[in-house]
């Protein structure tokens, strides 16, 4: 699957997105993103898709079957699910990119004494997978949720200029049941159009 995207090399991590300080580095030429693989209990084949903004500043991932549930008659393995998406960003010569910020949304219901976890990890092919970001929730809670991961501009990791490295994005959802007889659930499912993950690019020119 090929998708139009912003141009630039390849990089990872997070930072305050669309800041004017590096807006001038955004390439004007549109590029493509190849979805190399989509794996995991939270994103079975055909249930995740990617869309890139026309101005090359962000891309979003939407899911159609990404949820976790615990309690009552829910299968015991459904309290935790994960998704790994491997992307190949095809960029024009002279640019490199990193991920400056990521925004996640979904719906969460957990009763008193229950808890939930949303986790994300970003890394390039051949790099250590040690950029884990956790967001925890405590019950009672019953509403939409929104989390943001950001990285300082000076700490953004950019793709090597002139090299092609796949970008790995791993996410995970977990819930606990709480009291006996209660039910907890958490979604990152875009079937209603509200829940989607948004990744913001940071661009730089290669010397």
Preceding omega of 140 cis (within 30 degrees of 0): yes
Per-residue pLDDT tens digits of the chain, which is 207 residues long: 433 333 333 333 333 333 333 444 788 888 777 889 999 999 988 888 888 888 888 888 888 889 999 998 899 999 999 999 999 888 878 889 899 999 999 999 999 999 999 999 988 888 877 789 999 999 999 999 999 999 888 888 888 888 889 999 999 999 999 888 899 999 998 766 656 789 998 988 987
The pLDDT value recorded for residue 179 is 87
The pLDDT value recorded for residue 191 is 62
Specify the pTM. 0.82
The pLDDT value recorded for residue 192 is 61
The pLDDT value recorded for residue 203 is 87
The pLDDT value recorded for residue 113 is 94
> Which residues have C-beta within 8 Å of that of residue 161, sequence separation ≥ 6?
9, 96, 206, 207
Closest CA to 198 of 84, 55, 101: 101
| Cα–Cα distance for residue pair 157/198, rounded to 1 Å | 18
Residue-wise pLDDT for 73-95, tens only, equals 899 999 999 999 999 888 878 88
84 burial (CB, 10 Å; 0-12 / 13-18 / 19+) is middle
Residue-wise pLDDT for 53-76, tens only, equals 888 888 888 888 899 999 988 999
| Cα–Cα distance for residue pair 97/199, rounded to 1 Å | 12
The pLDDT value recorded for residue 189 is 81
């Amino acid at each position: 699957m090929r998708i139009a995207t912003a141009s630039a090399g390849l990089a990872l991590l997070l930072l305050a997105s669309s800041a004017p300080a590096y807006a001038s580095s955004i390439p004007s030429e549109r590029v493509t993103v190849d979805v190399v693989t989509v794996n995991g209990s939270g994103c079975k084949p055909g249930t995740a898709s990617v869309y890139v903004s026309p101005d090359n500043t962000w891309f979003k991932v939407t899911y159609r079957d990404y949820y976790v549930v615990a309690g009552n008659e829910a299968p015991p393995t459904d309290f935790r699910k994960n998704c790994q998406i491997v992307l190949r960003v095809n960029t024009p010569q002279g640019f490199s990119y990193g991920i400056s910020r990521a925004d996640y949304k979904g719906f969460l219901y957990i009763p008193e004494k229950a808890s939930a976890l949303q986790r994300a990890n970003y890394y390039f092919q051949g790099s250590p997978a040690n950029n884990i970001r956790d967001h925890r929730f405590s019950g009672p809670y019953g509403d939409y949720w929104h989390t943001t991961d950001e990285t300082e501009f000076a700490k953004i990791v950019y793709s090597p200029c002139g090299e092609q490295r796949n970008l790995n994005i791993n996410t995970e959802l977990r819930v606990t049941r709480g009291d006996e007889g209660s039910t907890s659930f958490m979604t990152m499912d875009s079937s209603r159009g509200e829940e989607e993950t948004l990744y913001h690019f940071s661009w730089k020119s290669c010397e």
